[in-house]
Amino acid sequence: MPTELSSPPTLFISRPVHRTLTKRVVKLICSAFLSLLLAACVLLFVLWLALRPHLPRFHVSSFSVTGLSANGSAPLTFSFEVAVRNPNQEIAVSYDSVFVSVYYRDDRVGTAVAPAAGPFFQPPKNTTVISGKAAGVAPAAAAGTVAREARAGSVVFRLELASVVRFRMSTWDTHRHDLHVSCDVEVGPDGLSTVGSKDKRCYIYFL
């Protein structure tokens, strides 16, 4: 019976061999998994670098007020032009209606009755100009102060835009985000925006 004699020694050595083999396989799987994880991270990072979403940029390209010389006895009328830039290479932005108001400190001194822009779609690397008028319905509470400040040299208004946006990449869409844009504009006694406040970047935030 040569087989019976030879099998016990085989069984006897195979245990430790089996144990080291298991250890090796576990090690191999672990390192393979870690390498895969690292590769996935690198790939994601490169993808993020390539497609990195940038927020849209807003600049007030023109702003003027009429009615300042009435010394606060008549409502003010504002004309504005805002340049909206989508700086993304691949990502488009779709906007709902854009609503505009003008504030002096906490006092709303002008509202645009109609949206300044209807829903629009902005392709990558596109600049769209939104323009319109906003007016106060009655002389604002702060109208006297506004007129005084303007006569003294300059007065700062805040142009605020609100919309709902979605970012789009081919067929993939993000959720709707409430977009708020706030631009400080300084006007002189003539009602025109001062040179220093031209093309200043607006502050943008989501709610």
Ligand X SMILES: *[C@@H]1O[C@H](CO)[C@@H](O)[C@H](O)[C@H]1NC(C)=O
Stretch that binds ligand X, among 28-36, 124-132, 164-172, 181-189 (CB under 6 A): 124-132
Q: Tell me the Cα Rg of the chain.
A: 32
Q: Which of 97, 128, 154, 174 binds ligand X (CB under 6 A)?
A: 128
Asked if residue 69 binds ligand X (CB under 6 A), the reply is: yes
Q: Does 126 bind ligand X (CB under 6 A)?
A: yes
Element containing residue 59 per DSSP (H, E)? strand 57-66
Q: Which stretch binds ligand X (CB under 6 A): 7-15, 41-49, 123-131, 178-186?
A: 123-131
By CB under 6 A, tell whether 35 contacts ligand X. no
H or E segment to which residue 192 belongs: none
User: CA 3, CA 133: separation in Å to the nearest integer?
Assistant: 101
Residue 127 and residue 78 in contact, taking contact as beta carbons nearer than 8 Å: no
**122 vs 197 by CB, closer to ligand X:** 122
Nearest-approach distance from CB 84 to ligand X, in angstroms: 9
130-to-36, 87, 98 alpha-carbon distances in Å: 48, 17, 9
Residues that bind ligand X (CB under 6 A): 69-71, 122-123, 126-128
